[in-house]
Amino acid sequence: MFLKSMLSGSRAAGRAGAAGMARTLSSQKRRMSNVPIHPGPTGPDKRLVLAYSGGLDTSTQLRWLADKGYEVIAFCANLGQGGGMNDEDFSGIEKKALASGAKKCYVLDLQEDFVENYVFPIIRANAIYESRYLLGTSLARPCITKTLVRPALLLRALAPVP
């Protein structure tokens, strides 16, 4: 009931039932003409560094940014994904990034930094999520971001826009 009321915009409408909710939702349809379109970069400096995984999401983002006129430099971090014998293969990621529209692609081995400065401190702190899960994906983001900033500064890439 609460979810229905949130979707329809009021507690009273949520009590009206499915038919009332359907009418409310159909009246709130958003027209694509009302959605603002970002015109792309302006000015002479259109370079940015993209944290690139080689997956569908970041490959699509890379292509879209390149189509909008940005000079995209792909940055991929090897944190030891997969572990042991099944380590993720980074051999084709540069080729894929370039095919998706990147001007350059950097693959950096951050395994030592990640383990020493992020994994070990988290284990020592006994950082557990929902009383049973060790922090995983969220732990990698600060390590990747910290390292990504260096090439962005050296290459004079755009600063993030809020």
Summarize pLDDT for 3-31 with one digit per residue, the tens: 444 444 444 444 445 555 455 545 555 55
Q: If you average pLDDT over every residue of the chain, what do you get? A: 76
Q: How many domains does the chain have?
A: 2
Structural domain contains residue 102: yes
| Domain identity same for 25 and 63 | no
User: Per-residue pLDDT tens for 106-157?
Assistant: 999 999 999 999 989 888 888 888 877 777 668 888 999 999 888 888 888 8
Domain harbouring 70, CATH code: 3.40.50.620
DSSP notation for 93-137: HHHHHHHHT-SEEEEEE-HHHHIIIIIHHHHHHT-EETTTEEP-H
Q: What share of the chain in percent tops pLDDT 90?
A: 31
Ramachandran angles phi, psi of 161, nearest 5°: -100, 130
Domain that holds residue 13: 2-34
**CA proximity to 103, closest of 151, 43, 36:** 151
Q: Is residue 159 one of the residues assigned to a domain? A: no
162 domain residue, yes or no: no
Model pTM above 0.75: no
Q: Specify the pLDDT at position 4.
A: 45
Residue 21 lies in a domain: yes
Average pLDDT, integer, range 36-54: 75
What is the Cα gyration radius of the chain?
22
Q: Are residues 21 and 92 in the same domain?
A: no
Which pLDDT value is given to residue 7?
Answer: 46
Q: Within the chain, what is the greatest distance between any pair of CA atoms?
A: 59
